[in-house]
Structures are given as C-alpha cells and as structure tokens.
C-alpha cells in the first residue's frame, strides 16, 4: 500500500496492475493476522532464489497482516501480470490449486465461503452476467460458485420468486418451442 492510498484504493490498484481491468466489483471479506501465519525462512529462501537481497531486519521478515478482497471478473478479459514476489500468475480450477505459500489456501477458502454466503444476499454474481441472460446461464454461474449441481426446476422457481428478474424475450437459437427466455435484472439492482 502506498502512503497516500486507502486500503481499498490499494486493492483496486493492485487488481488493475495484475489483471489490466478497471471498474471491477471488489469486496473486502476478512483480515488475516495470526502471529504464526508466515515462515520467515520460506521468504528468505524465495528471495535468495530470485537474487533479491534485503537487510535481516527488513519489514518483510516481520509479522504482517493481510486484508482479503475478492473480485468478480470475466477471466477471458484478463491479461495477467506477474508481480515481483510471484513465481507465476495463472488461473486454476479451485479443485486443482497448486500448493500455496503460508496461509494463502486458507485465504482462498475464506473468500469462497464468503462469496457463497453472499450469493443470495448481496446478489454480487450479477456483475458477471451480460445485460440479458438465460436462466441456464444464471444457474450455471450459481453452480460454479457453489461447487454443486442444482435442480433446474427448484432453481428457476427460487429465482423467479425473488422478483429481481425481468423476462425480456425469447432467445431464438433453434426451434421456437425450445427457445429459452432472456432475463435481465430489475431496475432496483
């Protein structure tokens, strides 16, 4: 974080630098500050392997606190950029994450749990859909976040009962009787 930035501004800047995108939905979800969350030797080894020299009393060797944010992005629009302390910057399926340093796997798990809890309360997933979408697209997004399949009839009934969807028109992509309806979110969202 730069001295003249707020925490949120720093998170937005870092996200912009790492993805090349702006105006992304970004939500703070937790603070991580356990006293034993980092192993200084792991950091020393990493710095040495990258020919980075720092004084023994550097702030990098001190205890640190992280403020966790999650962002909702269309990953096909992202141009990833590796940071100075990163070995790589790549997309991974949540079920196939590589080994992560320190408590970063716990941070990812907490972000996912928070997103799942907020799925119906804050309706943040709507930031990931186009202006108009099919019920199947909405269901697929929910299933991806929840990590489980949902019954189509129950999901559709639940979504329509919320009153937040407006049916627009049919999406004609084949036989007229098979064309799905298109929806958009109501004006209040």
- How confident is the model over 41-57, as pLDDT tens digits? 888 888 888 888 888 88
Amino acid 96: pLDDT: 92
Give the span between the Cα atoms of 38 and 62, in whole angstroms. Answer: 9
pTM, two decimals, is 0.79
Task: Evaluate whether the domain defined by 7-118 bears CATH number 3.10.20.
Answer: no
Residue 16: the pLDDT is 92
* Residue 133: CB atoms within 10 Å: 21
Distance CA 59, CA 43 (A): 12
**What's the CA gap between 179 and 58, in Å, rounded?**
62
Binned at pLDDT 50, 70 and 90, residue 84 comes out as: confident
Q: pLDDT at residue 7 above 90?
A: yes
Fold adopted by 130-185: Arc Repressor Mutant, subunit A (1.10.10)
The larger pLDDT score, comparing residue 42 to residue 146, is at 146
What are φ and ψ of residue 43, in 5° steps?
-65, -40
Confidence class for position 123, pLDDT limits 50, 70, 90: confident
Question: From CA 165, how far away is CA 186, in angstroms rounded?
Answer: 6
Domain segments of the chain: what residues? Answer: 7-118, 130-185
Measured distance CA(16)–CA(74) in Å, rounded: 13
> Do the Cβ atoms of 97 and 105 come closer than 8 Å?
yes
């Amino acid at each position: 974080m730069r001295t003249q930035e707020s925490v949120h501004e720093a998170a937005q800047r870092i996200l912009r630098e790492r993805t090349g995108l702006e105006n992304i939905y970004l939500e703070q979800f937790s603070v991580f500050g356990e006293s034993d969350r980092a192993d200084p030797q792991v950091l020393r080894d990493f710095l040495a392997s990258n020919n980075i020299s720092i004084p023994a009393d550097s702030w990098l060797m001190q205890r640190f606190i992280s403020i966790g944010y999650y962002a909702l992005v269309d990953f096909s629009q992202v141009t990833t950029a590796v940071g100075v302390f990163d070995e790589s910057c790549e997309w991974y399926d949540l079920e196939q994450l590589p080994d992560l340093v320190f408590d970063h796997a716990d941070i990812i798990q907490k972000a996912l749990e928070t997103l799942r809890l907020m799925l119906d309360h804050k309706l943040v997933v709507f930031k990931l859909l186009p202006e108009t979408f099919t019920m199947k697209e909405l269901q697929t997004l929910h299933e991806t976040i929840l990590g489980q399949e949902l019954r189509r009839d129950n999901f559709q009934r639940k979504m329509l009962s919320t009153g937040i969807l407006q049916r627009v028109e049919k999406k004609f992509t084949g036989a007229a009787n098979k064309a799905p309806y298109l929806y958009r979110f109501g004006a209040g969202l």
